[in-house]
Chains A and B, each alone.
Chain A
Amino acid sequence: MAYVTTADGIRASYDMSGKGPALIMVHGASQDNLSWQYNIDFFSSHYTVYALDLPGHGKSGMPGNGPHRRTEDNAHYVLQFMDAQHLDESVLMGHSMGGGIVAQAAATALERIKGVILVDGASVNVVKSSGYNSSIMEMASINPGDWFEVTFRTLMGSATDPGRAEEIVTDARRCIPAVAFADICAFGGFRMEKILDAVTCPVVITEGAEDWSVPPTSAREVESRLRRQGVPVEYLEWNGTGHSPQSECPHIFNPETLAAMQRLGM
């Protein structure tokens, strides 16, 4: 565990491992860098892996004006983390809400992002898939911790080991409720469809076939749009798997995702 302070004064906590090109992993809503505990060692054989905690998550500091409620602010934080690490370029891997963050970063800093991996994070049509209208947002704001626990419990794939599912839920429960609700705002308010035109780097899209939060139909739509733009894309989907394939089936996720990244020259 290490820390660096971003230009905005946020203490950014991260785990670092391995040697090679930089690969920054960005977790999803209500989680932290433990999301990547079954992936860091594997990818660190090929990359210098930075598993980053977003502001207010894990051991990272809280921004002075409270938790980030916009994906754009989290993307800015990731790019500032790169600055603080003196990384001219990096590959970015983002899970769920983190997928929107890394896509936004890639759209903002074209020359610095050499590829992105959207792990159940190709989140177009988010209002339709996740139902986040004003009424649902009001419900989530009342009790974000329990709201997320129930969400996570219903996001597991049918083939996922129950013990692993409990681990994922336990990790999600540790999040500060105000931060968890800010994540809901960031995820529910982000419109990936509006920034896809600006993404030019290679993209790997991974999906659990049973994910209902960022469902395969959304991910396929992102794949089609990027292909039409001439962006190199790889699409991977695993049966029996829910919203967190990197934790639910790392023995499949790790080698197949790495192979796709290598095919795209990341």
Chain B
Amino acid sequence: MSIFFQENYLGRLALAGSADAFVRQHSTLAQLTAGFRDTTSGASAWISVVGNQVHAGTGNKNDELFCFEGDTGSFEDLRRGFPLNRLVRQHRLTVTGDLRACVQNWLLLYAITRLTATLEN
């Protein structure tokens, strides 16, 4: 299972997101929960943005509008800072659920997940 799906790691990512200016710039009035599922291990996680606050945890939150699904290698690359959009463009991560809600929040999703690179260092 990728470290991305560990509670501690997700907590650090949420903290970094809540403190990040670029995330704040794109989270005005945001109310969003995105799901993530490792198809290799079956592990799942969620990231939620309400206003300027980012929260994250393991398992299902039950209000996910959409979910990114991919194998363990894809989430390991995401954790190492490989951009979310490129994983999607390479068809290594696929989106299930409300595609429109996903792409309408494309910048916010990029803003949060890009912070994996800073956690890696």
Contacts and interface: CB of A to CB of B under 8 A. Distances in A.
Q: Do A and B bind each other?
A: yes
A131 B107 contact: no
A139 B99 contact: yes
B8 to A, nearest CB: 27
Question: Of residues B88, B106, B107, B110, which shows the largest number of chain A Cβ atoms within 10 Å of its Cβ?
Answer: B106
Interface string A187-219: 000000000000000000000000010000000
A146 B100 contact: no
B103 A143 contact: yes
A45 interface: no
A150 B85 contact: yes
Interface residues of A, number: 18
A142 B104 contact: yes
Nearest to A140: B103
Nearest to A130: B89
B89 A136 contact: yes
Contacts of B88: 131, 136, 139
A150 B89 contact: no
Contacts of A138: 99
Interface string B27-70: 00000000000000000000000000000000000000000000
Residues of A contacting B: mostly: helix
A142 B83 contact: no
Given A131-B90, A131-B91, A139-B95, A151 B85 contact: yes
Contacts of B104: 142-143, 146
A174 interface: no
A81 B81 CA distance: 44
A153 interface: yes
B83 to A, nearest CB: 4
Secondary structure class of chain B's binding surface, majority of residues: helix
Interface in A126-161: 130-131, 133, 135-136, 138-140, 142-143, 146-147, 149-151, 153-154
Interface string A88-132: 000000000000000000000000000000000000000000110
Contacts of B102: 139
Q: How large is the interface on B (under 10, 10 to 19, 20 to 34, 35 or more residues)?
A: 10 to 19
A149 B102 CA distance: 15
B85 A154 contact: yes
A140 B104 CA distance: 10
Given A150-B110, A153-B110, A142 B103 contact: yes
Nearest to B104: A143
A153 B106 CA distance: 12
Interface in A212-228: 212
Contacts of B86: 154, 212
A146 B89 contact: no
Interface in B89-121: 89-91, 94-95, 99-100, 102-104, 106-107, 110
B68 to A, nearest CB: 12
B99 A146 contact: no
B83 A154 contact: yes
Given A131-B89, A147-B103, 12 more contacts: A135-B91, A138-B99, A139-B99, A140-B103, A142-B99, A142-B100, A143-B104, A146-B103, A146-B107, A147-B106, A154-B83, A154-B85
9 contacts: A130-B89, A135-B91, A139-B102, A143-B104, A146-B106, A146-B107, A147-B106, A151-B85, A154-B83
